[in-house]
Amino acid sequence: MRIAQNSAMKATHCRHQTSWQSLKISGLLLLGWLIFSMPVSAANPSSLEPQEALVSVVVVGDIMLGGPPERMMQRGLDPFKHFSQVFKQADIRLGNLECVVSNKGEAEPDKPNVFRVHPRAIRFLSRHFDAVGLANNHSGDYGPVAFADMLKRLRQAGVGFYGGGDNLAQAHQPFIMEKKGVRIAVLGFNEFQPRSFEADHDKPGIAWSEDEQVLRDIAWARGPGRADVVIMVMHWGWEDPLANHRQRQLARLMIDAGADAVIGGHPHLVQDREVYQGKPIFYSLGNFVFEGFDNPVNNTGLVLNLSISKHGVQHWDLMQAHIDKRGVPRLRQHPP
């Protein structure tokens, strides 16, 4: 089976390989890795002290629960079930919710694909996730009324969120969680149209990715008494195995401003990754729960497990999720 994005895995497995042109060349290779890890601590051994607490943060890609996954949930079946052990073993679980969960609102006129799922989905999200990302190009598909209704339901279920809120200020607030004495902030931004989904002073919506604002939000999250570590979750890029110039430029800008990791989504496939200033950038994790794609490249996503200390990301593992015809991910147990 040809899985083009595996090229990026092999290339970045070697820690000196960061040239995206080399990635392009290796894009033709067929690889059968199941789990990949690359210790950042090897690059920066002084940053990891022996007794330092490590928090595991599992991050998955785009979650669109419409179609067959919604029908499964209607029958009480859990579309995340094959990853329940992976989630259970993590300290913090995050994913990008690429649909609105509500029974309210009106579909955006003239938008070709609009995704809304029944509120029963909240129960399945709360079973597996500590927080979900809302900064994307579908969470506003049924307007601010449905978006606000989703926020209310997430809060009631104890599921955090980032990249969205009841107003502009709230949409730019990080989700902050403390585990083992390590305070981790997560910020989310979308830069894929329509911009009309953006929150305003008196309108619920998402956080839009404007460089200056993104940098201000990082500075705020890093402020006194807030977070030790800042994770950026971006919704960006084109459907190409290699990240574009804009993604690379902004990722570096964010790391220069104090971000500890950059994790992207939206291109519906896995993109390459790199290490900049000792900080990892995963340009796109690809899909996680998403039905409707025929190409295997769209039905293979990455599940990222970051090990984080007070001093940042120490190392990480990547697992491969194979998405079946119903849009349901399974952990790839054996190399293809």
Residues lying near Zn ion in the complex (CB under 5 A) are found at: 136-137, 266
The minimum distance between CB 137 and Zn ion, in angstroms, equals: 5
CA dist., res. 201 & res. 184, Å (int): 26
Nearer to Zn ion, 93 or 266 (CB): 266
Nearer to Zn ion, 267 or 312 (CB): 267
Nearer to Zn ion, 60 or 313 (CB): 60
The minimum distance between CB 138 and Zn ion, in angstroms, equals: 6
CA dist., res. 216 & res. 203, Å (int): 21
CB neighbours of residue 145 within 10 Å? 14
Nearer to Zn ion, 26 or 136 (CB): 136
Amino acid at 206: I
The minimum distance between CB 268 and Zn ion, in angstroms, equals: 8
Amino acid at 176: I
Chain position carrying tokens 């790199």: 274
Tokens representing 44 are: 């920066």
Tokens representing 237 are: 């890029």
Q: Which residue is nearest to Zn ion (CB)?
A: 266
Report the largest interatomic distance among the alpha carbons of the chain, rounded to a whole angstrom. 56
Nearer to Zn ion, 136 or 247 (CB): 136
CB 164 within 8 A of CB 134: yes
How far apart are the two ends of the chain, measured CA to CA in Å?
6
Nearer to Zn ion, 143 or 267 (CB): 267
CA dist., res. 107 & res. 141, Å (int): 6
- Give the start-end residues of each E strand in 64-147: 92-97, 100-101, 116-117, 131-133
Nearer to Zn ion, 6 or 284 (CB): 284
Nearer to Zn ion, 26 or 137 (CB): 137
CB 91 within 8 A of CB 57: yes
Cis (ω within 30 of 0) for the bond into 112?
no
Q: Which of 217, 204, 225 is nearest to 250 (CA)?
A: 217
The minimum distance between CB 117 and Zn ion, in angstroms, equals: 15
The minimum distance between CB 133 and Zn ion, in angstroms, equals: 10
CA dist., res. 82 & res. 99, Å (int): 21
The minimum distance between CB 188 and Zn ion, in angstroms, equals: 12
Tokens representing 68 are: 């067959």
The minimum distance between CB 15 and Zn ion, in angstroms, equals: 30
The minimum distance between CB 98 and Zn ion, in angstroms, equals: 6
Q: Which of 171, 57, 189, 71 is nearest to 124 (CA)?
A: 71
Nearer to Zn ion, 266 or 322 (CB): 266
The minimum distance between CB 136 and Zn ion, in angstroms, equals: 5
